[in-house]
Amino acid sequence: MSHEKFKTCIDTCNECASECEHCATACSHEKDAQALAKCIELDRYCADMCRTAAAFMSRSDEHTSAFVTKFCNLCAEICNACATECEKHSHMEHCKKCAESCRKCAIECNKMGNVFLEN
């Protein structure tokens, strides 16, 4: 399989990682950053996972597809957890945008998990 087949998901993961990093930084500068600790933590986990999933998809072939499936499914799970937490703080624009990006990424990663399972 060529990584070009997964370009949409790779791009979505990279965009989500960027939004998560921005959200974590913005949350850490809020007046009550301590109350946003879980949000910041999930943002960082999500950003790392999205980058890793994108890397695995970029180097995917018939020998690594099982690993990619697992990474994409886990990425979707972490993205959904991050989105749920950010939605609790959606009055802040950075959390709102992060949640939207995470939901979009989870959808794309779930698609990839299914594509790899079908092949």
Domain encompassing residue 51: 3-118
DSSP 35: G
Residue 8, φ and ψ in degrees, nearest 5: -60, -45
> What's residue 113's pLDDT?
64
Cα(89)–Cα(6) distance, rounded to whole angstroms?
31
> What's residue 50's pLDDT?
98
pLDDT digits (tens, 9 = 90+) for 82-116: 999 999 999 999 999 999 999 999 999 998 866 65
DSSP 92: S
Token pair 């989870």: residue: 106
Q: What is the CATH number of the domain that holds 21?
A: 1.20.1270.360
Extract the residue ranges of the chain whose pLDDT is less than 50: 1
> What's residue 3's pLDDT?
66
Q: Produce one character per residue of 6-36: b if its CB has 16 or more CB atoms within 10 Å, e if not.
A: beebbebbbbbbebbbbbbebbeebeeeeeb
Domain count, the chain: 1
